[in-house]
Amino acid sequence: MSAELPYNLFSQHLREKFGEKVFKVTLDAGFDCPNRDGTRTWGGCTFCDASGSSAQVSPPSTSLSEQLEVGMAGWRRRFGDKARKFIAYYQAFTNTHAPLDRLREVYRVGLEHPDVVGIAVGTRPDCVGEPVLDLLAEMSAQKYLWVEYGLQSAHDATLLRINRAHTVEEFIDAVRRTQRRGIEVCAHLIHGLPGDTPRMMLASVDLLARLGVEGIKIHSLHIVKGSVMAGQYLRGEIPMMSQEEYVGWVADSLERLPWEIKIHRLTGDALPHLLIAPEWSRHKLQVLNAIQQEMRRRNSRQGSALDVLKC
């Protein structure tokens, strides 16, 4: 399937690296977030709900080992004995926002499980001091590891508007320090944030290309219950993009990214019962098909605009 895809799909990379399909299990280690607990500020990003942008299905009160087993069992029910290798994805809230001893204890669950072939740690760029990065580097010597940083937009005015409580400069610094340790970085962008024009979104993509991040997740702006944006949206203050607009912006984005950058995700994973808008984003397969069709229509692929841009 990948040979026909116009972009470098991460799941295909995993299949090649590990010789079979690898399944991701999302975990909630019970962390908080510096953007909610007052370390940086209060209230959280305006798009984030009380679950800390987690797609986690198990209740967070369950132990991490149980969450892992439940998640793996869910995949086995669907895929039978094909589901043998897993990535433990520490996703909810900020997964480096705790003392080192606690972090070690939490990461050990994934590191020591024999069926877990890789670890992904989702965090913020302002939460990776040198000791944390040393720990992550130690882990990457033991197991395949990704660190995922939310950037969302490479424009400080937009970050301020959505209450991200970190700057673009902090993101750049975190990425460079992480990469210096040989750890692969996946950066997250949201297309359609209030205040971000299409030109600004593409500038965010260009920054990631220049930094040479190893992976990217892009998703459309989602309005979820319990977020500050939910109120703004219901008062008519947040314009919502159409699927056609999103598909066009993603195609433009992919064309500007070097082929080496792995595409981890192009759709969001808001829990269906929390999603308010846009309605079309519930149909992930439809959105992915539309992106592929659009790129085929343009006869383009990931990176195809780069030679033109260099001229």
Q: Where on the chain is the footprint of ligand SF4 (CB under 6 A)?
A: 33, 35-36, 44-45, 48, 52-53, 93-94, 124, 150
Q: In terms of CB distance, is 227 or 302 closer to ligand SF4?
A: 227
CA dist 8 to 5, 126, 150, Å? 7, 29, 20
| Helix/strand/coil for 268 | coil
Q: In terms of CB distance, is 52 or 215 closer to ligand SF4?
A: 52
Q: In terms of CB distance, is 193 or 305 closer to ligand SF4?
A: 193
Q: Least distance to ligand SF4 from the beta carbon of 228, Å?
A: 10
Residue 125 tokens, joined: 């760029």
Q: How many CB atoms lie within 10 A of CB 131?
A: 11
Residue 31 tokens, joined: 């962390």
Q: How many CB atoms lie within 10 A of CB 129?
A: 12
Q: Least distance to ligand SF4 from the beta carbon of 171, Å?
A: 12
- Name which of 198, 196, 199, 152 is nearest 171 in CA terms: 152
Q: Least distance to ligand SF4 from the beta carbon of 53, Å?
A: 4
Q: Least distance to ligand SF4 from the beta carbon of 60, Å?
A: 13
Query: Under a CB-based contact definition with an 8 Å cutoff, are residues 49 and 274 in contact?
Result: yes
Taking every pair of Cα atoms in the chain, the longest distance, rounded to a whole number of angstroms, is: 55
Q: Least distance to ligand SF4 from the beta carbon of 176, Å?
A: 20
Q: Least distance to ligand SF4 from the beta carbon of 122, Å?
A: 8
Residue 287 CA, chain-centre distance (Å), reads 17
Distance CA 235, CA 231 (A): 6
Distance CA 82, CA 66 (A): 21
Q: In terms of CB distance, is 53 or 58 closer to ligand SF4?
A: 53
Query: Under a CB-based contact definition with an 8 Å cutoff, are residues 128 and 178 in contact?
Result: yes
Q: In terms of CB distance, is 46 or 302 closer to ligand SF4?
A: 46
Q: In terms of CB distance, is 103 or 251 closer to ligand SF4?
A: 103
